[in-house]
Amino acid sequence: MLLDELTSDPFETQRIARRVISAMAYPGRLHACDEARAEAVLSAFAPVGTPVHVTAAAEAAGCAAPRGLRLAAPGAAAVVVMAGAEAGDLFVDLRRGSLQHPQEGALAVIMLDALAADTSGNLTVFGPGPIGARRILAGGLSARWAARRAEVNAGFPMGVDALLIGPDGTMLGLPRHVKLEG
């Protein structure tokens, strides 16, 4: 599927935007969205001129930035698309905003090999949001990522929000205030 075909339908873009908002509003809950690919999320959440970074590994996995977005270094980008294997190293370099402007923290879109609810999963998501703890299988995610994410988000409200996307479009929103173990 060509990128222009993927992003040319405003109704599809709106549908994906709603799913992402729902995923971020209900952290720890998996959200199915057949159309959710990293570039579709960029199209829905990164207006023309937004600084984005798509890593080489994400490009190799098939993600390309839609036209009109400004390519930037990871630390300067508002949205960064990366593969799960590189998330542990790259997450600490992303912008976190400031106390006056915490909304300027980046959104990390992390492409995974698998994403599913699984009692033997490699991540546990804690509230606020999920009732109790939820175990998630995040296949292909760096083993260091949960610890690096905690380090990056320790200065709340500053930090980095994350959106995990499985190969089938399943999404998991992890706003910076949600606690993880993994």
Q: Where are the domains of the chain?
A: 3-181
Tens place of pLDDT per residue across the chain (182 aa): 223 334 567 787 788 888 889 999 988 889 887 766 777 787 777 777 889 999 999 888 878 776 677 889 999 999 999 999 999 999 999 999 999 999 999 999 999 999 999 888 899 998 766 567 889 999 999 999 999 999 999 999 999 999 999 998 899 999 999 999 88
Q: At what angle do helices 10-25 and 38-45 cross, to 10 degrees?
A: 90
Predicted confidence at residue 182, as pLDDT, reads: 82
Spatial distance between the Cα atoms of 42 and 47, rounded to a whole number of angstroms: 8
b/e 76-87 (16+ beta carbons within 10 angstroms → b): bbbbbbbbbbbb
Fold of 3-181: Rossmann fold (3.40.50)
Q: H or E element: which one contains 79? A: strand 79-83
The Cα 67–Cα 96 span in angstroms is 25
| pTM as predicted | 0.89
Q: Tell me the average pLDDT of the chain.
A: 86
Q: Does a cis peptide bond (omega within 30 degrees of 0) precede residue 157?
A: yes
